[in-house]
Amino acid sequence: MTMKDMANYLEEDSEVRHDGEFWSLRLYVAGQTPKSVAAFANLKKICEDHLAGRYQIEVIDLIEQPQLAAGDQILAIPTLVRKLPEPLRRIVGDLRNTERTLVGLHLKPGKRDA
């Protein structure tokens, strides 16, 4: 999957459920680097496992749109920004540590919405 394909990833495999909070996530990357690709893959897996049908991932490539970094105060990449549910949260890195990512998102480990 290319960065352009990832630019607006909305889970299409299942219907959007209305019985839980909707999660709007923005992932800032710099091109198709190994860390950027890993961050997206790790994020997608976490979302599929814990937020099935209740999330949207927007990928912002700062090589193509560097002006967007200021809006969310991005200082390092890859950076994940949780826009919804509020409050806004940021996690820097490739998100490979699932437990740390879940804690950073305030999503309880082990919570599965199958």
- Per-domain residue ranges for the chain? 3-105
* Bridge partners of residue 60, in order along the sequence: 28
Assign 110 a pLDDT band (cuts: 50, 70, 90). low
Assign 108 a pLDDT band (cuts: 50, 70, 90). confident
What is the fold of 3-105? Glutaredoxin (3.40.30)
Q: What is the pTM of this model?
A: 0.79
Q: Which two tokens stand for residue 25?
A: 């996530």
Buried/exposed code over 14-52 (b: 16+ C-beta within 10 A; e: otherwise): eeeeeeeeebebbbbbbeeeeebbebbebbbebbeebbb
The predicted-structure confidence for 8-40, as pLDDT tens digits, reads as follows 554 443 344 435 789 999 999 999 999 999 999
